[in-house]
């Protein structure tokens, strides 16, 4: 059996010598603990940027987050092709644009560009519906037609996300009230059309919602303007030329039952301008104001506004709405894919149907 060696406790001098030797070995040649080498290699491989560049990167990251949030809120304008924007999705308060004012806007955009983007909202088929900017869109479309398809083919737009069609119509009305003036008749017309389009169940509801920021007196007047559109919208040639006072007087005549007489007068007269149209209306209005209304005239009974066909998809991204009155029917087709040749085909088929 091997003889075991007896271990002895080192002396103090021996321990000191061991410590001094260890210290000499670990400091020789600048040796460091292994973890220090790992950290140094990681820092070297990551190639850290100087402080000024790191600050710039942080600012870029913050700007990107701000831009993303602005886009989500519809605060960043994007370029949208003109063909993808529909103007008749909403019942518009503006009937048309005066040519002189439009041409002035066309020249301004041609020389200086469009300073204020239009407002739109996205539709299910991928196209866009106009909220505000009817005149600006019309001007850019005219420029596009003048220069050809390569220039002014798109327009800057803010893409909004209204919660409902009511909110979209409200935004349109507010924008036009602040900017270019809308005629009194047009104010009432958009409320009446919203009712007939099924957006509201009654005229009172339409006026109260669309003109909620207006005074009670102004809303009452707008109801009178809407009555004119309901009774005479298909007969008047120059309704936009009517002043507020003229509109209120005409509405008063309609309320006492002179609607049929007024329609008959408009149907049998040649109307060349706004002055001539008012001259035809005035005798009947004065008759109503004096209280000498012939009861034999009668008058059309007042009916609650009925919600018109809200519209339906008929294929190829085309939407059709049908409006019915007592003596007429209107058909509205809309959609980004709608072309002139389609309209010609539809008209030809209608003519063929009724000529048989």
pLDDT in tens, 303-349: 444 444 556 777 777 777 776 665 667 777 777 666 666 777 888 78
**Which domain covers residue 91, as residue numbers?**
74-162
Tell me, yes or no, whether 276 lies in a domain: no
Tell me, yes or no, whether 286 lies in a domain: no
Local structure of 340: helix, strand or coil: helix
Among 45-49, 124-128, 141-145, the least confident range: 45-49
Tell me, yes or no, whether 318 lies in a domain: yes
Tell me, yes or no, whether 250 lies in a domain: no
pTM of model > 0.85 = no
Distance CA(139)–CA(136), nearest Å, equals: 5
What is the tally of structural domains in the chain?
A: 2
Q: Please report the pLDDT score of residue 186 as a whole number.
A: 85
pLDDT over 50 (residue 299): no
For residues 179 and 38, the model is more confident at 38
Q: Please report the pLDDT score of residue 194 as a whole number.
A: 84
Burial of 148 by CB count in 10 Å (0-12 exposed, 13-18 middle, 19+ buried)? exposed
Domain final position from 162, 189, 222: 162
Q: Please report the pLDDT score of residue 310 as a whole number.
A: 58
* CATH code, domain carrying 135: 3.90.1530.10
Indicate the average pLDDT of the chain: 78
Distance CA(190)–CA(196), nearest Å, equals: 10
Q: How confident is the model over 37-54, as a mean pLDDT?
A: 66
Q: What is the 3-state secondary structure (H, E, C) of 140-195?
A: HHHHHHHHCCCCCCEEEEEEECCCCHHHHHHHHHHHHHHCCCCCHHHHHHHHHHHH
Q: Are strands 128-132 and 85-86 parallel, antiparallel or unpaired?
A: parallel
Please state, for a pLDDT cut of 90, what percent of the chain lies above it.
11
Q: How confident is the model over 31-57, as a mean pLDDT?
A: 66
pLDDT over 90 (residue 281): yes
Q: Give alpha helix (H) positions in 47-98.
A: 51-72
pLDDT over 90 (residue 277): yes
pLDDT over 80 (residue 263): yes
Structure tokens at 136: 């600006």
Q: Please report the pLDDT score of residue 326 as a whole number.
A: 59
Tell me, yes or no, whether 307 lies in a domain: no
Q: At what angle do helices 203-210 and 165-178 cross, to 10 degrees?
A: 60
Tell me, yes or no, whether 292 lies in a domain: no
Write out the H or E segment, with its range, that includes residue 284. helix 274-290
Q: Please report the pLDDT score of residue 40 as a whole number.
A: 65
Q: Please report the pLDDT score of residue 27 as a whole number.
A: 55
Tell me, yes or no, whether 123 lies in a domain: yes
Domain final position from 113, 143, 162: 162
Provide the phi-psi class of 182: left if phi over 0, else alpha when psi is between -120 and 50, else beta: beta
* Backbone Cα Rg of the chain: 38
The percent of the chain in helix, strand and coil, each rounded to the nearest 5, is: 55, 10, 35
Q: How confident is the model over 57-73, as a mean pLDDT?
A: 79
Tell me, yes or no, whether 155 lies in a domain: yes
Q: Please report the pLDDT score of residue 5 as a whole number.
A: 66
Distance CA(355)–CA(135), nearest Å, equals: 39
Q: How confident is the model over 144-150, as a mean pLDDT?
A: 82
Q: Please report the pLDDT score of residue 293 as a whole number.
A: 58
Distance CA(274)–CA(165), nearest Å, equals: 34
Domain final position from 162, 185, 201: 162
């Amino acid at each position: 059996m091997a003889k075991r060696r007896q271990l002895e406790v080192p002396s103090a001098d021996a321990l000191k010598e061991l410590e001094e030797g260890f210290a000499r070995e670990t400091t020789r040649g600048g040796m460091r603990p292994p973890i220090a080498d790992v950290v140094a290699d990681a820092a070297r491989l990551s190639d850290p940027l100087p402080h000024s560049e790191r600050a710039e990167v942080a600012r870029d990251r913050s700007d990107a987050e701000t831009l993303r949030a602005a886009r989500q809120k519809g605060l960043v304008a994007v370029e949208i092709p003109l063909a993808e924007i529909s103007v008749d999705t909403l019942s518009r308060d503006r009937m048309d644009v005066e040519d002189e004012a439009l041409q002035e806007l066309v020249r301004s955009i041609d020389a200086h560009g469009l300073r204020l983007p239009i407002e739109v909202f996205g539709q299910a088929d991928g196209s866009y519906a106009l909220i505000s900017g009817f005149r600006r869109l019309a001007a850019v479309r005219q420029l596009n037609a003048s220069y050809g398809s390569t220039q002014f083919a798109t327009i800057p737009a803010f893409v909004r996300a209204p919660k409902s069609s009511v909110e979209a119509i409200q935004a349109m009305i507010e924008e036009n009230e602040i900017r270019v003036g809308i005629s009194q008749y047009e104010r009432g017309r958009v409320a009446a059309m919203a009712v007939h389009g099924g957006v509201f169940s009654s005229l009172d509801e339409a006026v109260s919602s669309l003109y909620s920021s207006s005074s009670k007196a102004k809303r009452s007047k707008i109801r009178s303007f809407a009555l004119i559109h309901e009774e005479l919208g298909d007969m008047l040639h120059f309704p936009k030329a009517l002043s507020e006072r003229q509109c209120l007087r005409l509405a008063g005549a309609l309320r006492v039952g002179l609607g049929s007489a007024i329609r008959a007068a408009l149907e049998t007269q040649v109307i060349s301008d706004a002055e001539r149209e008012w001259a035809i209306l005035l005798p009947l209005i004065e008759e109503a104001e004096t209280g000498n209304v012939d009861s034999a005239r009668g008058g059309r009974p007042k009916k609650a506004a009925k919600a018109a066909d809200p519209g339906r998809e008929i294929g190829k991204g085309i939407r059709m709405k049908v409006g019915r009155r007592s003596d007429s029917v209107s058909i509205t087709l809309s959609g980004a894919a709608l072309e002139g040749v389609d309209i010609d085909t539809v008209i030809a088929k209608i003519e063929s149907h009724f000529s048989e």
